[in-house]
């Protein structure tokens, strides 16, 4: 299978732009394939150890200025190009682009601001559990080109896609899933319109016999989606794929099928997760899976860490890690799900997102203690006192400098028999390496202090 990438590199001067996990993966695959004229690497930082003395390294602030000296540039997802892509003479590719060019007919691609990792991992687990030949790749942390050799003609490829991977894509998956779009990554894109445009590449290059399952909250504009559109929603009338809370349970309805989610027998909590289950059910139904096989997989699925993850109990208080939460909506969903929350910890790096929706929800909710940390915590606190005189029960607001102070205060004030949840509604960058480290530090502070 690795020979499939040779047409892109044969006789070409090749540059890798970025040498993180994906850049290193691309390097090893291209080296193995061979046939290129040269293979060089450009990155802002100079690596501690260079894997190849033959390769030319371009590092430092001007590392992107050499791009047009090459025929082909493989760009890593997180790198922001300094010019519009059409201004470069070189061909700019990515791992994802090349992999999709090879296997797009077998790919189920999933994107969204929140929930995409849950949908990706749940779909993979249920397909695998049902005995299907399947693999999981992409933004979930598994570089695609590393696994080209494992793809067989019947393999179903479940592929998580970030906005950065989609930004310059010219090919879309056979089945696309757009879970939702919320305000996010504006520090990278500058405008919401550019961020939305990146996400919409999940469907813009689909064909007429392809499928898009899309949340009704972010439907494509008329005429922009060439594939079959399946509208999905929670308690939304007129949807093709409906998730509805009814007196006798939560039901998924799709193409004449009705399926009641066994909420008391699964580990995924909350309405947002029931929507994710609904979307996965839709894909499984399209692939011909029966309800028994779907239920068997759903019941054995273990949720990903840091996504409203129950950590345990200490001194009668139940602690939950929702460190994945970097926007208002996910914190609101966490508090709607954990109805016994006595204390919530909010705050992190400030990327300038609008916190009005969260402030208005916090004013009305029954949470007794709202601990506000870091730059966004301070900003929320100041905005409430300046612009929201009607905010209910302001003494609930507690300022804390960092997570350590916030946890110490939470452990003092949270009432036994209730829950305490870390759901920051903000990024972790500049404070922690990533949201995973933030969640791990929270658990350590709670149980090992």
Binding site per annotation, positions: 112-118
CA 36 to chain centre: 34
The Cα 328–Cα 355 span in angstroms is 7
Q: Which residues are part of a known binding site for ATP? A: 112-118
The Cα 61–Cα 13 span in angstroms is 22
8 A C-beta contact, residue 305 and residue 408: no
Alpha carbon distance, N-terminus to C-terminus of the chain: 51
The Cα 244–Cα 237 span in angstroms is 9
The Cα 119–Cα 249 span in angstroms is 21
Q: How many CA atoms lie within 13 A of 102 on its CB side?
A: 24
Burial class of residue 88, CB neighbours in 10 A (0-12, 13-18, 19+):
middle
Instruction: Tell me the C-alpha to C-alpha distance, in Å, between residue 393 and each of 369, 389, 399, 426.
Output: 10, 10, 15, 23
The Cα 167–Cα 272 span in angstroms is 26
Q: Helix 116-129 and helix 291-300: axis angle, to 10°?
A: 120
The Cα 344–Cα 213 span in angstroms is 33
Instruction: Tell me the C-alpha to C-alpha distance, in Å, between residue 424 and each of 9, 141, 207, 449.
Output: 44, 23, 39, 21
The Cα 30–Cα 210 span in angstroms is 31
């Amino acid at each position: 299978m690795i020979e499939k990438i040779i047409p892109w590199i044969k006789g070409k001067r090749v540059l890798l732009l970025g040498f993180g996990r994906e850049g290193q993966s691309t390097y090893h695959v291209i080296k193995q394939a061979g046939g290129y004229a040269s293979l060089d690497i450009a990155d802002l930082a100079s690596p501690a150890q260079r894997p190849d003395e033959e390769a030319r390294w371009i590092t430092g602030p001007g590392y992107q200025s050499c791009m047009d000296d090459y025929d082909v540039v493989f760009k890593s997802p997180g790198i922001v190009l300094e010019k519009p892509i059409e201004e470069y003479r070189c061909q700019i590719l990515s791992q994802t682009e090349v992999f999709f060019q090879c296997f797009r007919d077998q790919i189920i691609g999933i994107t969204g601001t929140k929930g995409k990792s849950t949908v990706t991992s749940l779909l993979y687990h249920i397909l695998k559990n049902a005995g299907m030949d399947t693999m999981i790749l992409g933004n979930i942390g598994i570089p695609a080109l590393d696994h080209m050799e494992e793809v067989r003609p019947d393999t179903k490829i479940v592929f998580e896609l970030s906005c950065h991977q989609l930004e310059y894509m010219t090919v879309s998956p056979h089945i696309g899933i757009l879970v939702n779009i919320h305000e996010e990554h504006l520090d990278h894109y500058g405008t919401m319109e550019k961020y939305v445009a990146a996400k919409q590449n999940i469907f813009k290059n689909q064909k007429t016999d392809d499928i898009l399952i899309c949340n009704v909250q972010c439907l494509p504009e008329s005429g922009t989606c060439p594939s079959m559109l399946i509208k999905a929603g929670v308690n939304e009338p007129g949807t093709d794929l409906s998730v509805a809370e009814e007196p006798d349970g939560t039901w998924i309805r799709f193409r004449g099928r009705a399926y009641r989610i066994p909420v008391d027998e699964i580990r995924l909590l909350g309405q947002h997760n029931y929507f994710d289950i609904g979307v996965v059910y839709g894909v499984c139904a399209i692939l011909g899976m029966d309800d028994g096989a779907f239920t068997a997989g759903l019941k054995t699925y273990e949720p990903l860490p840091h996504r409203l993850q129950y950590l345990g109990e200490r001194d009668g208080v139940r602690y939950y890690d929702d460190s994945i939460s970097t926007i208002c909506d996910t914190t609101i969903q966490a508090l709607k799900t954990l109805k016994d929350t006595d204390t919530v910890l909010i705050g992190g790096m400030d990327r300038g997102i609008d916190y009005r929706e969260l402030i208005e929800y916090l004013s009305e909710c029954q949470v007794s203690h709202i601990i506000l940390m870091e730059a966004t915590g301070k900003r929320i606190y100041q905005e409430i006192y300046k612009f929201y005189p009607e905010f209910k029960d302001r003494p609930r607001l507690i300022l804390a400098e960092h997570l350590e102070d916030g946890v110490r205060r939470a452990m003092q004030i949270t009432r036994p028999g209730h829950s305490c949840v870390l759901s920051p509604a903000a990024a972790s960058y500049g404070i922690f390496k990533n949201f995973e480290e933030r969640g791990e530090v929270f658990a350590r502070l709670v149980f090992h202090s």
